[in-house]
Every structure is written in structure tokens, then in C-alpha cells.
Amino acid sequence: MVCLGNICRSPLAEGILKSKLPHSTFLIDSAGTAAYHIGSAPDPRSEAIASKNGLNISHLKGRQFEVSDFDHFDYIYVMDQSNYDNVVKLARTNQDISKVDLILNKVHPGKNYDVPDPYYGGTEGFKNVYKMLDEACDVIAKELA
């Protein structure tokens, strides 16, 4: 799960997908394309909406997406078009590129909708993001399971 800062959207996506798949079988992680928040805990608003839905993501720590992630993961879900462009810039092969998709394409195939960045908005934005990610993760979990 990849967003810009790895403190708002992608840690939520990580926590949600982890809650829908067995830990023993699936390696699920998140990262940001930027280095701003390396080592930081998720945004308190993401922690709050996760907690409201029974998930604890407070132990997660921000990290930056790296080229080796293409080797460690089969699927790389990005939150918006700018994340997509930044990740694809690091791809070495067409196979790397084929692993990357906008996460909302799981719910709206081919539409290329963004999960809006909630960082500069209020709590309503985080609620909205949670709902979008929960729907997308339902589809992903069903496919992978």
C-alpha cells in the first residue's frame, strides 16, 4: 500500500487489509513515495478512524518506498495518480510496472479514481478514505483468499 507520506492513507490500507487476511500467509506493508515521515507513527486522525472501526495501527512506522519493494511484493496498490507516477519512475522492468495499480480500480475497474489525500482536511475526509479503502480491501482480500 503506497501513498505520499505513509502516515494517512497507506497505513490505514495496511491495517484494513491485514484485518481481512491471515498474517501467516500474506505479507502486507505500506510505504510513502516521499521521505517526509520516515519513522513517524500514523497521523492521529488515521489512528482514530481505524480505532473507531476496531483496528489498531498506532504501532506502524513510516518508511519510504524503495526499488527492492518490487522484488518483495506481488501487488503494489497506490492511492492516487501522483503516487502511481512516482512508483512507476522507480520500476526497472515491465514486470515491475505490471505490479502497480490504483487501489480504487479494484472497486471501479479502469476508472483510475484517486483516494483523495485527507492530510489538509478535516476528520470527514478520513472517514471517507476509510470507507473507500475498506471497500477496495474487501475485493482484494476476496481475490487473494
30 interacts with ligand 4NP by CB under 6 A: no
Catalytic residue among 43, 69, 80, 117: 117
Measured from the CB atom, is 53 or 86 closer to ligand 4NP?
86
Region 86-105 residues binding ligand 4NP, contact defined as CB under 6 A: none
Reading the block at residue 11, the C-alpha cell is 497505513
Catalytic residue among 8, 9, 43, 45: 9
Long-range contacts of 92-98 (CB under 8 A, 24+ apart): 92/67, 96/70
Q: Shortest gap between Cβ of 47 and ligand 4NP (angstroms)?
A: 12
User: Looking at 16, 63, 117, 136, which residue binds ligand 4NP (CB under 6 A)?
Assistant: 117
76 and 69 Cβ atoms separated by less than 8 Å: yes
51 and 19 Cβ atoms separated by less than 8 Å: no
Query: Which residues have a Cβ under 8 Å from the Cβ of 110 and sit 6 or more positions away?
Result: none
Contacting positions for ligand 4NP (CB under 6 A): 3-9, 32, 36, 117, 119
